[in-house]
Amino acid sequence: MSDGYVTPDGRTIGGKVLEMRNITLRFGGVVAIKDISFDIREGEIRAIIGPNGAGKSSMLNVINGFYHPQEGEILFHGEVRKPMKPFQIAQQGVARTFQNIALFKGMSTLDNIMTGRFTHMKTNIFSQMIWKGPAEREEQENREIVEKVIDFLEIQAIRKTPVGALPYGLQKRVELGRALAAQPKLLLLDEPMAGMNVEEKEDMSRFILDVNDEFGTTITLIEHDMGVVMDISDRVVVMDYGKKIGDGTPDEVRNNQDVIDAYLGVDHG
Amino acid sequence: MYDQLLYGIEAAINGLMTGVMYSLVALGFVLIFKASGIFNYAQGVMALFAALTLVGIQSGQVPFAHLINALFGTKVHHFGWTLPAVAAILLTIGVMILFAWLVERYLLKHLVNQEPIILFMATIGLAYFMEGVGDLMWGAEIKKIDLPIPQGINETIDSLTYDWFGYGFYIDNLDITASIIAIFLVISLTIFSQYSTTGRALRAVADDHQAALSVGISLRSIWVIVWGLAGFIALVAGVMWGAKSGVQSSLSLITLKALPVLMLGGFTSIPGAIIGGMIIGMGEKVFEFVVSSSWFGDAMGFTMNATENWFAYVLALIFLVFRPQGLFGEKIIERV
């Protein structure tokens, strides 16, 4: 799989968007991630799974720059990435959602998703103060993209609602919308289905698949719920105690003895 | 009794407008507190510094003249020009933006993720440091704001109220100007924060730092913007208060007038700062008017004076007891 591959359902997967090489992350004496390598390819849905405390969220935080690994390198579009701040990584086209929903609770759905366009908005503060001209034009252009995202996620009804007042499932959807609005090169989803009921999970799975299908967005997601992950992802990394114990298609992973022992074994007694 | 009522109304109106002047200072606090959770004790000193800088630039003073003269044995004091008001104001705004950048670069940057109390202490340090720098730069003598701000009794209101009630109200033009400017400031700040990209980013940062970072907002540049805005508000407050009582180091004490306003209005609410200021200003004046009046004396057997010094705090304390988050502050509910 050096130069992409074709999925069973006929989608063509391209080159490496992101490559993690021998990443080790420590917090004091605790090793959260130990010597892990894997890659994420253009157009694929890549999952990272593992039991609680396996280091999945830490891995996502390394990718988006909240954590800086002590060892290893990260290649973004084939180039070694210097240690960067999260906002700089966002400017490079990496968007994310959070396990515990990190929306701007006092702001409306529309405003929240508009913040997702931040990296695309270039007018300076002074022309924003004048408003007429570039700033207004820019606002309108970006607003159109945001409205498309709102249509796509079927959340027109809650456009003006402060997101703090929305039910959990909808908040998750708004957060996805904010990340989508950035038109990211790489979309990171931290447990997008955590805490959802079956119906909400099905909705979310459908949105994830549609995003990937319609916009060709490369998606990396972390999930606890193995069933859903196996259904929607192209390739899966399995982590346990900070180590990588499996990597491959859902079928390969399912039949990997280490994975069965460490993950399924624990899960199903 | 009719006379007393009129005097009371006059006191209330004057109080209302003094209150708006308190709000001008409180506004700067709210901006910084919302965006970074820092209680900026230096806001009052920033007002003093901005006013000093404005006067200094306008009158063509050489900054650090005393220092330069002491070091090099020269005798420079003035460049020998006076700048037009607009140019001086623009330059002062520039200085306040530079100040904001310096604060971020050399202070806040090193204190990210520290406890709020540490940040608070840092702003106390900053306040006295700036007071010193202001002295050194522009000298310690009392200065006069030289801007075309209308001052003195408003004749129109005086004659109108005289026609209506037989008693002319004394309303100062300066207070009216300050109120109009304050209201204009609040409206433009609100519009800016509601509808512009940067405004949205400001609100985003105020709401959730991590999420703001994840959408590509640089906290550091937002802090520079917020401190710059607070510096601009400090300039407006400094000019208004300076026009009232001269530009001198006691100007920085307006911080203490803004505190009860914040306790009452809430630390995170811009309208709260305005309404809070009005309530405090009006309450102060009306209370003073009542307790120092002769009919109060007759009824109670005593009168009180100089209640302005403490009344605001007592009012704020009473509010705190019943509404700890302030009138408009967000209620903090801790989930267990």
* Closest partner CB to A129 (pick from B192, B211, B212): B192
Tens digits of residue pLDDT in B150-180: 988 999 999 999 999 889 999 999 999 999 9
pLDDT of amino acid B330: 66
Nearest to B266 by CA among B213, B199, B319: B319
The whole-angstrom separation of Cα A91 and Cα A182 is 9
DSSP A126: H
Nearest to A47 by CA among A230, A266, A241: A230
CA distance B269 to B189: 12
Bridge partners of B175? none
- Gap between the Cα atoms of B9 and B20, Å rounded: 17
CB contact under 8 A, A118 and B216: yes
By a Cβ cutoff of 8 Å, what residues of chain B touch chain A? 192, 195-201, 203-204, 206-208, 210-219, 225, 330
pLDDT at residue A266, rounded to an integer: 53
What is the band of A267 on the pLDDT scale with cuts at 50, 70, 90?
very low
Nearest to B201 among A86, A91, A115 (CB): A115
What is the average per-residue pLDDT within B111-121?
Answer: 89
A84-128 confidence digits (pLDDT tens):
999 999 999 999 999 999 999 989 999 999 999 999 999 998 889
Q: Token pair for residue B139?
A: 């000298």
Tell me how far apart the alpha carbons of residues A22 and B196 are, in angstroms, rounded to a whole number.
Answer: 43
Question: Is a pLDDT exceeding 70 seen at residue B86?
Answer: yes
The arithmetic mean of pLDDT across residues A24-52, rounded, is 94
- Give the strand pairing for A218-223 and A235-240: unpaired
Query: pLDDT by residue (tens digit) across B236-275?
Result: 999 999 998 889 988 988 888 899 999 898 888 888 888 9
Test B203 with A118 for CB contact under 8 angstroms: no
Q: Is the dihedral of CA A160, A163, A169, A174 positive or negative?
A: positive
pLDDT at B293 over 90: no
pLDDT at A154: 95
The per-residue pLDDT for B335 is 57
Are the Cβ atoms of A106 and B203 closer than 8 angstroms? Answer: yes
**pLDDT at residue B334, rounded to an integer:** 59
> What's residue B224's pLDDT?
95
Confidence at A216, pLDDT banded by 50, 70, 90: very high
Question: Which residues of chain B make contact with A123, given a CB cutoff of 8 A?
Answer: 197
Q: Give the phi and the psi of residue A200 in degrees, each rounded to 5.
A: -60, -40
Q: How confident is the model at residue B140 (pLDDT cuts 50, 70, 90)?
A: confident
Q: Tell me which CATH homologous superfamily contains domain A1-93+184-269.
A: P-loop containing nucleotide triphosphate hydrolases (3.40.50.300)
**Between β-strands A71-76 and A79-80, what pairing exists: parallel, antiparallel or unpaired?**
antiparallel
The pair of three-digit structure tokens given for residue B142, joined into one six-digit string? 């009392």
On chain B, the residues whose CB falls within 8 A of the CB of A90 are 213-216
**Tens of pLDDT along B232-246?**
999 999 999 999 888
Are the CB atoms for B172 and B109 separated by under 8 Å? no
CA A84 to CA A22: how far, in whole Å? 18
Residue A261: which pLDDT band, with cuts at 50, 70 and 90?
confident
Is B201's CB within 8 Å of A118's CB? yes
Whether residue A268 is predicted with pLDDT greater than 60 in this model: the reply is no
B102-116, B209-223, B305-319 — which one is most confidently predicted on average?
A: B209-223
Q: Are strands A30-41 and A16-27 parallel, antiparallel or unpaired?
A: antiparallel
Read off the pLDDT of each residue in B197-208 and give the average, rounded to a whole number.
92
Using a CB-CB distance cutoff of 8 angstroms, which residues of chain B are in contact with residue A129? 192, 196
Confidence (pTM): 0.88
Query: Which residues in chain A have their CB less than 8 angstroms from residue B206's CB?
Result: 106
pLDDT per residue over A141-186, tens digit each? Answer: 999 999 999 999 999 999 999 999 999 999 999 999 999 999 999 9
| Domain positions in chain A | 1-93+184-269, 106-183
